[in-house]
Structure 1
Amino acid sequence: MIVSLAAAVALSSGLNSSSGLEPFDSSSWGTSEDPTNSSAEPMVRTLPSDRTEPDISSSLGVQEVSPWDIALCVTGTLISCENALVIAVLFYTPTLRAPMFILIGSLAVADLLAGLGLILNFVFTYLVDSSVEFVTLMSVGLLISAFSASVLNILAITVDRYLSLYNALTYHTERTVTFTYVMVVFIWVSCLTLGLLPVLGWNCFEDESTCSVCRPVTKNNAVALAVTFLLVFALMMQLYLQICKIAFRHAQQIAVQHQFIAISTTKGVSTLSAILCAFGACWLPFAMYSIVADSTYPAIYTYATVLPATCCSVINPIIYAFRNPDIQKSLWMACCGCVPSFSLRPRTSSDV
Structure 2
Amino acid sequence: MMEKGPPNSSEGQQGWFSARNGSGSSLDLESVVQPLALNPWDVVLCISGTIISCENAIVVVLIFHTPAFRAPTFLLIGSLATADLLAGLGLILHFAFVYFIPSGAVSLLTVGLLVTSFTASVSSLLAITIDRYLSLCNALTYYSERTVTRTYIMLILAWGASVCHGLLPVVGWNCLKEPSACSVVKPLTKSHLTVLSASFLAVLLVMLQLYVQICRIVCRHAQQIAVQRHFLASSQYVTTRKGIATLAVMLGTFASCWLPFAVYGLLGDCGRPGLCAYAALLPAAYNSLLNPVLYAFRNQELQKGLWAACCGCCPAPPCRARSPSDV
Smaller-chain TM-score bracket: 0.7 to 0.9
Give 1:223 deviation, angstroms: 1.0
Q: Matches of residues 85-100 of structure 1 in structure 2 within 5 Å? A: 85-100=58-73
Whose radius of gyration is greater, 1 or 2? 1
Q: Matches of residues 4-153 of structure 1 in structure 2 within 5 Å? A: 62-129=35-102, 132-153=103-124
Aligned counterpart, 1:246: 217
Aligned counterpart, 2:204: 233
Aligned counterpart, 1:295: 270
Kindly indicate whether the alpha-carbon contact (under 8 Å) linking 2:73 and 2:322 is maintained by their aligned counterparts in 1: no
Task: Report whether the alignment pairs 1:284 with 2:259.
Answer: yes
Q: Give distance in 2, aligned partners of 1:217 and 1:349.
A: 36
Give 1:147 deviation, angstroms: 0.0
Give 1:178 deviation, angstroms: 3.2
Task: Report whether the alignment pairs 1:321 with 2:296.
Answer: yes
Give 1:336 deviation, angstroms: 2.0
Give 1:347 deviation, angstroms: 7.4
Q: Give distance in 2, aligned partners of 1:225 and 1:348.
A: 31
Q: Give distance in 2, aligned partners of 1:106 and 1:137.
A: 24
Q: Give distance in 1, aligned partners of 2:181 and 2:82.
A: 32
Aligned counterpart, 1:23: none
Amino acid at match of 1:66: N
Aligned counterpart, 2:195: 224
Give 1:334 deviation, angstroms: 1.2
Amino acid at match of 1:329: K
Q: Give distance in 2, aligned partners of 1:253 and 1:179.
A: 29
Q: Matches of residues 154-233 of structure 1 in structure 2 within 5 Å? A: 154-173=125-144, 175-233=146-204
Kindly indicate whether the alpha-carbon contact (under 8 Å) linking 2:73 and 2:324 is maintained by their aligned counterparts in 1: no
Task: Report whether the alignment pairs 1:274 with 2:249.
Answer: yes
The runs of 5 or more residues in structure 2 that have no matched partner are: 1-6, 13-31
Give 1:349 deviation, angstroms: 6.6
Q: Give distance in 2, aligned partners of 1:156 and 1:174.
A: 17
Q: Give distance in 2, aligned partners of 1:243 and 1:339.
A: 33
Match of 2:144, SS state, is helix
Amino acid at match of 1:334: A
What RMSD in Å do the two structures reach over aligned CA positions?
A: 2.3
Give 1:220 deviation, angstroms: 1.2
Give 1:335 deviation, angstroms: 1.6
Amino acid at match of 2:275: I
Amino acid at match of 1:191: S
Give 1:161 deviation, angstroms: 0.4
Q: Give distance in 2, aligned partners of 1:94 and 1:347.
A: 13
Give the TM-score, by structure 1 length.
0.78
Amino acid at match of 2:94: N
Aligned counterpart, 1:24: none
Give 1:215 deviation, angstroms: 0.1
Which segment drifts farther, 252-261 or 109-118? 252-261
Give 1:350 deviation, angstroms: 4.8
Kindly indicate whether the alpha-carbon contact (under 8 Å) linking 1:209 and 1:295 is maintained by their aligned counterparts in 2: no
Which segment drifts farther, 78-87 or 253-262? 253-262
The runs of 5 or more residues in structure 1 that have no matched partner are: 1-53
Question: How many residue pairs get matched?
Answer: 291
Kindly indicate whether the alpha-carbon contact (under 8 Å) linking 1:211 and 1:294 is maintained by their aligned counterparts in 2: no
Amino acid at match of 1:98: A
Q: Which residue of 228, 237, 242 maps to 1:262?
A: 237
Q: Give distance in 2, aligned partners of 1:89 and 1:120.
A: 24
Match of 1:254, SS state, is helix
> Identity, % of aligned pairs?
53
Q: Please list the CA deviations of residues 183-221 of structure 1 after superposition, one character each: whole Å capped at 9, or x if unmatched.
A: 212211111010010111111112111111110001111
Q: Give distance in 2, aligned partners of 1:287 and 1:179.
A: 29
**Bigger relative contact order, structure 1 or 2 (CA pairs below 8 A, ≥6 apart):** 2
Kindly indicate whether the alpha-carbon contact (under 8 Å) linking 2:131 and 2:324 is maintained by their aligned counterparts in 1: no
Amino acid at match of 1:204: C
Give the TM-score, by structure 2 length.
0.84
Match of 2:38, SS state, is coil
Kindly indicate whether the alpha-carbon contact (under 8 Å) linking 1:247 and 1:350 is maintained by their aligned counterparts in 2: no
Amino acid at match of 2:63: L
Amino acid at match of 2:96: V
Q: Give distance in 2, aligned partners of 1:63 and 1:161.
A: 47
